[in-house]
């Protein structure tokens, strides 16, 4: 179906006539009627198990809406759903996750997708245009979802505040941009700095300075604007697409209120139209699942293999949506959405006396951080109660407040109190099977009652909790004597619990220090957890119960004091513990060097031009691999993977799978026509053969007619194993001596003499956790067999040539029969360099066997399980230093967890060793690297490629040196920085060192001295909140360490009309490589960018390409493009000379008529590279990228939560080819590093099972994690003579600068430890999660919750 319309009211009247109708009805099914982008859809056979997303993409061909996670956690699938509300006679617009929305829930609903609001071909909507022009779209895969979240917000509120915008994006993730440009672009819509739509009272906001963000002081020749808001189309809310008139009529007539029945392959969907009918159906089908928002059931069906024969959908029943205000509270129908409940409670808080709304405010506090807006828009309050999650955010509040529930069956109703008898077991309640939850009564609070609610989660926004708590205390009137106390906790048992013993012991006591002491002792005893408890973090969770009670204790003291009671005053240094977190809107500055005066306007090099695909990405028209239209006879493949980490395969039973609907065949090792041996080191197999060596090892595949059928059949395959003992962790590998060869060593100077010279020697260690790539587009391959054994593959890959070679080998054909095509990727980050071949070879084998096109896009949980990530590292060091802080000797050993194959682990370890000293000159040094062979999926390349791990260990020992001497870490770092002409441990002389300049500018721009003094003062004044600062440098070597990869090719065609087709060896994954290559060609050929086009990267245009990796792609491919363009210019030169006043088109035509070849090959290889480990000689890197970051954080010592207050980055990128793209890379890399060092944690079971397999359990940074103040400055006047047009690489180097946040956290913890009398070096492993921060801030609460001794229990997860 073609992209729909963006029409105004006058054009919409014929919308109803354009109808899409499904085939004839399945037995007994009703028709489902809904509208998509103004078009009427009549679906006669809706399957209750089909989601809106699948229907949009596969049935309607609307591929702008993307699949990112299938669990409502990333927002890539966001669409707007609009309904007519008979009660209010108004329209309700909601942003929802199409991946969770059941198709059957959409009867009489209007769906708007990204295609429906604008297109490049017709007209862009301002929401689409602004994200693109403000550089807020890099890979673009998340962009349509972000566009639709913003669009839905504007439809409800045309002039939102920045707080509204930030709330709207709570359910959206982006892995590329670092979020700043998205917020900045959309700030132009807001009252805070927004667009007036051309109707501003003091002139247009575009011209009066209100449209942009404020910039701090900047010098001459420095540019701070990356785009011009005057280029934006004004936003006019009156021009929006109207609600389909036919749908309005249908919604108002009686038709809309009849009951519905939809029958699918396995499930029947029953939608009753009255409460009476609902009760009868529940009596008839007591085991039926009740669905309103599908935010829980959708997950169960997708990820827990649950099948529900009958689903009841009572979402439209009036009684279940009713809100009734009573004398003692508000009654909410069980189907009320959380968004609606929040709106009602906010109104009540504004209109009622404060003492009555304590419960409401506690509920609102939890709702603010409950999932994301998209989930709150559809999730029902009744669903939240009935799923009985032990970590529910709201149930502890309902329990502490004594909420009452009304239950009902066909024979009548009963009221139950929500207390600890309501939850009868894990995810079980006291509700009888035939009963329904009708409503919840949330009471007003009393005058002498105080309630607080708390939630602690790994990430603040859109995250499931570690521990939730709600506490309510009621005092005898006019006293501080406890009359009633309820302490409710989630995350401390299989159910939400009340700490009854503790509460009972404290009744009749005065609210003071004695009560606090006893409460903590009692809670520590009552809230005990088994050391093996699911979820782990046992000591932390137990400590949280005490810390949160302490916060409650202080808040109540404060309130009692305000009521005039004589209670102990909360000391000023403890006040910060009573504060409720409120996010601040971030502000930012970007600084870069303007192009030289006199540079012609036509020369775009050095200018911040927009990513060439940004507009297409914002409209959903950019085509990704899985967006390629389905072939007529296409099949879908699903993988069969191992559930054991190390085992022999005894038998595989495929009988049930082969009987499943739609299945065509199963594939195993015996079906591989060529070689089953594969992998970068030929130590892997296409399919497991007799043995599996990790959970997720590919054993086979099922091919079927649809994705759903293939996946269901794959789950039906039964494999019997004989288990072998796995090696999972680095420590286990060290004990077992399970290492890959070679063990690399780099040594320089005289280590023994160095340690003798040292005044002090210290030993230390640090563990750096792994990281999931979390590219928004998972791995995907479409294989199309052609004649003569040819195979055409569409792959989301950074390395088309490797994919070509591996597929050719598996098929047993020469490489010239395999064509690999890469248009663009939805993110890569190294994860699609070598591991894409794991999937592409399997899909190609299937297509070859069946001689039909075969497609497979991995689900997020599969991708995380199978494809590996960043290597976890363990670093041990011994460092010798003088009293001055000068480091004179270093002995460091690295251990990496490589997984079950070598892949790229050797090169990764080598790069870690090449970065072991970071930016510090150490005369005597030895580094050793051990690559651990374990039974985990093979770990692989990830932005930085081992560099960040090596650099992190270096920053750890330099911090230890400072702590040991009692000096500031910044002083010790500055003292040890490299100088021009010094030599590295691998004997490379440093030239063009800009470290000192970056350092000085960073300190100046960040106002470090002022911040340091302010932080010290803050720390003296606050006991439970501490601030920390850190300044961290980086030196990152640019080149592939495998010398042969430092080459690139390009192919440039000039056509007769003067247009140019440019092809090069690099792939586009959002980093703007194609844009930069067009800029290079534009400068060399002297023609506008609009005349040059890059279509795709393919193995039949430029052969034998190196992977797009190592940050070197602009350098290598740019030089190859330059070479090709210069060849063409030389050929055109005679015609320019003959006709100097002619145009480009004239010269091209003349050359063509003169039979001149207008196609040219370009080639480049980086000169003078090569290094010998045995001799420790040669030149490893072409040059280095330098940068320095200063970050300030604030930690909550009681919970371990932290705020990123500010970050200033100064980055040397030479003469930037495109400052907008380069600043985008710096910010995106920084935010990815922020995840690595402070947030992202992969959990594995002791048997090697990955426990974190999606955005629900694995948290990448979100919009709310940006530093409140972010300054990025590109170092001026720093040309680099080693790369194209004096530029420098920028992809990987900035990532490590996020460690400045980690070391700022460590600095803040140091201040907290000093309060408890603990000083000197201490170990803090990465990431600095809330758990690690809290446990490191040792105090009286942590002492009450000592951890169990290792070895006395089996932990839930192990550190790999």
Active site residues: 1292
For residues 79 and 50, is the Cβ–Cβ distance under 8 A?
Answer: no
As given in the structure block, the two tokens for residue 988 are 């490379």
For residues 717 and 885, is the Cβ–Cβ distance under 8 A?
Answer: no
Spell out the SS3 assignment of 410-446. Answer: CCEEEEEECCCCCEEECCEECCCCCCEEEEEEEECCC
CA separation for the pair 869, 799 (Å, rounded): 17
CA separation for the pair 875, 890 (Å, rounded): 12
Closest CA to 159 of 200, 118, 119: 200
User: For the chain, what is the total number of helices (H) and then of strands (E)?
Assistant: 37, 51
- C-alpha distances out from residue 147 to 95, 191, 211, 231, 339, Å: 10, 19, 19, 19, 20
Closest CA to 441 of 402, 388, 484: 402
For residues 1037 and 1180, is the Cβ–Cβ distance under 8 A?
Answer: yes
Sign of the CA dihedral 637, 643, 645, 647? negative
**Those residues with Cβ within 8 angstroms of residue 1360's Cβ, 6 or more apart along the chain or in another chain:** 728, 729, 730, 770, 872, 897, 934, 936, 1242, 1244
For residue 116, the 8-state DSSP code is G
- C-alpha distances out from residue 884 to 760, 970, 974, 975, Å: 10, 13, 12, 9
Strands (E), 334-411: 404-409
For residues 112 and 151, is the Cβ–Cβ distance under 8 A?
Answer: yes
> Which 3 state secondary structure label does DSSP give 1272?
strand
For 663, counting Cβ atoms within 10 Å of its Cβ (0-12 exposed, 13-18 middle, 19+ buried), the class is buried
Transcribe 644-712 into DSSP letters.
SSSEEEEEEE-HHHHHSTTEEEEE-GGG-SS-SEESTTS-EESS--SEE-STT-EEEEEEESSHHHHHH
As given in the structure block, the two tokens for residue 1357 are 């997860």
Transcribe 1188-1202 into DSSP letters.
EEEEEEEEETTT--E
**Cα angle 1158-1162-1168, degrees, rounded to a multiple of 5:** 160
**Those residues with Cβ within 8 angstroms of residue 705's Cβ, 6 or more apart along the chain or in another chain:** 635, 636, 662, 664
For residue 1325, the 8-state DSSP code is P
Transcribe 163-205 into DSSP letters.
HHHHHHTTT---SSS-SHHHHHHHHTTSTTT---TT--TTS-T
Burial annotation 762-788 (CB, 10 A radius, 16+ → b, else e) = bebebbbbbbbbbbbbbbbbbbbbeee
Half-sphere exposure of 256 (CA within 13 A, CB side): 20
> Which contiguous run of DSSP H or E holds residue 1228?
helix 1219-1238
Give the Cβ contact number of residue 526 at 10 Å.
Answer: 19
For residues 188 and 194, is the Cβ–Cβ distance under 8 A?
Answer: yes
For 247, counting Cβ atoms within 10 Å of its Cβ (0-12 exposed, 13-18 middle, 19+ buried), the class is buried
Closest CA to 121 of 622, 793, 807: 622
CA separation for the pair 547, 878 (Å, rounded): 37
């Amino acid at each position: 179906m073609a992209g729909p319309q963006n029409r105004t009211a006058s054009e919409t009247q014929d919308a109803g006539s354009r109808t899409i109708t499904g085939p004839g009805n399945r037995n007994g099914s009703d028709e489902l009627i809904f509208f998509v982008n103004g078009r009427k859809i009549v679906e006669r056979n809706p399957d209750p198990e089909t989601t809106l997303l699948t229907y949009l993409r596969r049935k309607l061909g609307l591929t702008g809406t993307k699949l990112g996670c299938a669990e409502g956690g990333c927002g890539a699938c966001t669409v707007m759903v609009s309904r007519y509300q008979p009660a209010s006679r108004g329209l309700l617009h909601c942003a929802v996750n199409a991946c969770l929305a059941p198709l059957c829930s959409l009867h009489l609903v209007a769906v708007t997708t990204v295609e429906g609001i604008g297109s490049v071909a017709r007209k862009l909507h301002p929401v689409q245009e602004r994200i693109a022009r403000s550089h807020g779209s890099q890979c673009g895969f998340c962009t349509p979802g972000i566009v639709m979240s913003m669009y839905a917000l504007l439809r409800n509120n045309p002039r939102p505040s920045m707080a509204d915008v930030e709330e709207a994006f709570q359910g959206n993730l982006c892995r590329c941009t670092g979020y700043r440009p998205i917020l900045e672009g959309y700030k132009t819509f807001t009252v805070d700095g927004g667009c007036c739509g051309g109707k501003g009272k003091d002139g247009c906001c575009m011209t009066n300075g209100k449209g942009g963000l404020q910039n701090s002081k900047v010098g001459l020749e420095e540019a701070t604007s990356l785009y011009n808001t005057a280029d934006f189309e004004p936003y006019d809310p009156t021009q929006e697409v109207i609600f389909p008139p036919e749908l309005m009529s249908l919604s108002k007539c009686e038709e809309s209120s009849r009951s519905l029945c939809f029958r699918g392959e396995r499930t029947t969907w029953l939608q009753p139209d009255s409460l009476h009918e609902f009760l009868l159906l529940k009596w008839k089908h007591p085991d039926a699942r009740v669905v309103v928002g599908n935010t829980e059931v959708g997950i169960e069906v997708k990820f827990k293999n649950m099948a529900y024969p009958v689903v009841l959908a009572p979402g439209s029943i009036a009684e279940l949506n009713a809100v009734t205000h009573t004398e003692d509270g508000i009654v909410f129908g069980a189907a009320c959405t959380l968004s609606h409940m929040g709106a009602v409670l906010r109104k009540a808080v504004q209109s009622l006396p404060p003492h009555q709304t304590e419960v409401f405010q506690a509920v609102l506090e939890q709702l603010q951080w409950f999932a994301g807006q998209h989930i709150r828009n559809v999730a029902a309050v009744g669903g939240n109660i009935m799923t009985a999650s032990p970590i529910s955010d709201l149930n502890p509040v309902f329990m502490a407040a004594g909420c009452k529930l009304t239950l009902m069956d066909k024979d009548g109703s009963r009221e139950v109190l929500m207390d600890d008898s309501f939850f009868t077991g894990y995810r079980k309640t006291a509700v009888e099977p035939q009963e329904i939850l009708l409503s919840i009564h949330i009471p007003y609070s009393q005058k002498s009652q105080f309630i607080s609610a708390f939630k602690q989660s790994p990430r603040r926004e859109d995250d499931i909790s570690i521990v939730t708590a709600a506490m309510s205390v009621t005092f005898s009137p006019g006293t501080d004597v406890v009359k009633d106390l309820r302490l409710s906790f989630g995350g401390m048992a299989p159910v939400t619990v009340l700490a009854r013993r503790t509460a009972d012991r404290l009744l009749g006591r005065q609210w003071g220090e004695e009560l606090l002491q006893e409460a903590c002792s009692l809670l520590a005893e009552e809230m005990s957890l088994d050391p093996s408890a699911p979820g782990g973090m046992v000591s932390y969770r137990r400590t949280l119960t005490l810390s949160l009670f302490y916060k409650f204790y202080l808040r109540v003291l404060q309130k009692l004091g305000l009521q005039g009671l004589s209670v102990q005053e909360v000391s000023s240094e403890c006040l910060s513990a009573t504060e409720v977190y409120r996010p601040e809107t971030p502000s930012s500055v970007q600084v870069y060097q303007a192009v030289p005066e006199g540079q012609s306007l036509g020369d775009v090099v050095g200018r911040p031009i927009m990513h060439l695909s940004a507009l297409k990405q914002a409209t959903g028209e950019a085509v990704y691999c899985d967006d390629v239209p389905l072939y007529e006879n296409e099949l879908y493949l699903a993988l069969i993977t191992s559930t054991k980490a190390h085992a022999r395969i005894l038998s595989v039973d495929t009988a049930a799978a082969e009987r499943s609907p739609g299945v065509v065949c199963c594939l195993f090792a015996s079906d591989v026509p060529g070689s089953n041996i594969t992998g970068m080191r030929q130590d892997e197999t296409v399919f497991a053969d007799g043995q599996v060596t990790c959970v997720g090892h590919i054993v086979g595949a099922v091919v079927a007619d649809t994705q759903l059928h293939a996946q269901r059949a794959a789950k039906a395959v039964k494999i019997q194993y004989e288990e072998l003992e796995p090696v999972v962790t680095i420590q286990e590998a060290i004990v077992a001596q399970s290492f890959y060869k070679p063990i690399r060593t780099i040594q320089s100077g005289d280590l023994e003499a160095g340690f003798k010279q040292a005044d002090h020697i210290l030993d230390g260690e640090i563990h750096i956790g792994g990281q999931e790539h979390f590219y928004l587009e998972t791995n995907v391959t479409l294989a199309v067999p052609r004649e003569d054994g040819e195979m055409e593959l569409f792959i989301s890959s950074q390395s088309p040539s490797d994919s070509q070679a591996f597929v050719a080998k598996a098929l047993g054909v020469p490489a010239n029969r395999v064509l690999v095509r890469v248009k663009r990727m939805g993110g890569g980050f190294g994860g699609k360099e070598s591991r894409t071949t794991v999937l592409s070879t399997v899909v190609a084998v299937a297509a070859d066997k069946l001689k039909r096109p075969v497609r497979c896009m991995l689900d997020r949980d599969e991708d995380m399980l199978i494809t590996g990530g960043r290597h976890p590292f363990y670093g041990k060091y011994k460092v010798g230093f003088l009293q001055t802080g000068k480091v004179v000797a270093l002995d460091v050993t690295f251990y990496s967890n490589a997984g079950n194959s070598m892949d790229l682990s050797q090169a990764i370890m080598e790069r870690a060793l090449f970065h072991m000293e970071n930016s510090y000159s150490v005369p005597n040094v030895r580094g050793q690297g051990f690559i651990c062979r374990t039974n985990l999926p093979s770990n692989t390349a990830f932005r930085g490629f081992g560099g960040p791990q090596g650099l992190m260990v270096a920053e750890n020992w330099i911090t230890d040196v400072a702590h040991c001497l009692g000096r500031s870490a910044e002083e010790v770092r500055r003292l040890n920085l490299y100088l021009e002409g010094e030599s590295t441990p691998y004997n490379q002389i440093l030239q063009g060192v800009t470290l000192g300049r970056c350092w000085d500018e960073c300190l100046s721009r960040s106002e470090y001295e002022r911040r340091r003094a302010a932080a010290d003062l803050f720390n003296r004044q606050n006991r439970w909140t501490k601030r920390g600062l850190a300044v961290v440098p980086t030196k990152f070597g640019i080149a592939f360490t495998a010398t042969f990869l430092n080459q690139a090719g390009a192919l440039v065609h000039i056509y007769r009309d003067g247009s140019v087709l440019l092809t090069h060896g690099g792939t586009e994954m959002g980093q703007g490589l194609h844009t930069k290559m067009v800029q290079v060609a534009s400068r060399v050929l002297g023609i506008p960018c609009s005349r040059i086009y890059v279509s795709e990267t393919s193995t039949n245009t430029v052969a034998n390409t190196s992977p797009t990796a190592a940050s070197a792609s602009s350098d290598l491919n740019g030089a190859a493009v330059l070479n090709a363009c210069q060849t063409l210019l030389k050929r055109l030169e005679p015609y320019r000379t003959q006709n100097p006043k002619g145009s480009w088109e004239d010269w091209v035509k003349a050359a063509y008529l003169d039979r001149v070849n207008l196609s040219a090959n370009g080639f480049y290889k980086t000169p003078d590279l090569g290094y010998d480990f045995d001799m420790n000689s040669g030149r490893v890197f072409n040059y280095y990228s330098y940068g320095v970051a200063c970050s300030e954080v604030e930690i909550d010592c009681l919970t371990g939560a932290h705020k990123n207050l500010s970050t200033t980055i100064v980055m040397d990128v030479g003469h930037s080819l495109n400052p907008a793209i380069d600043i985008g890379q710096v910010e995106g890399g920084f935010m990815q590093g922020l995840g690595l060092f402070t947030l992202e944690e992969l959990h594995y079971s002791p048997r090697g099972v990955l426990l974190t397999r999606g955005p629900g359990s694995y948290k990448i940074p979100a919009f709310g994690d940006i530093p409140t103040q972010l300054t990025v400055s590109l170092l001026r006047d720093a040309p680099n003579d080693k790369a194209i047009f004096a530029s420098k690489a920028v992809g990987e180097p900035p990532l490590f600068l996020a460690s400045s946040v980690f070391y700022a956290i460590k600095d803040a913890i140091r201040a907290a430890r000093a309060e408890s009398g603990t000083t000197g070096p201490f170990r803090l492993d990465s990431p600095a999660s809330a758990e690690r921060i809290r446990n490191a801030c040792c105090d009286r609460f942590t002492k009450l919750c000592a951890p169990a001794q290792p070895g006395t229990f089996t932990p839930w997860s192990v550190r790999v």
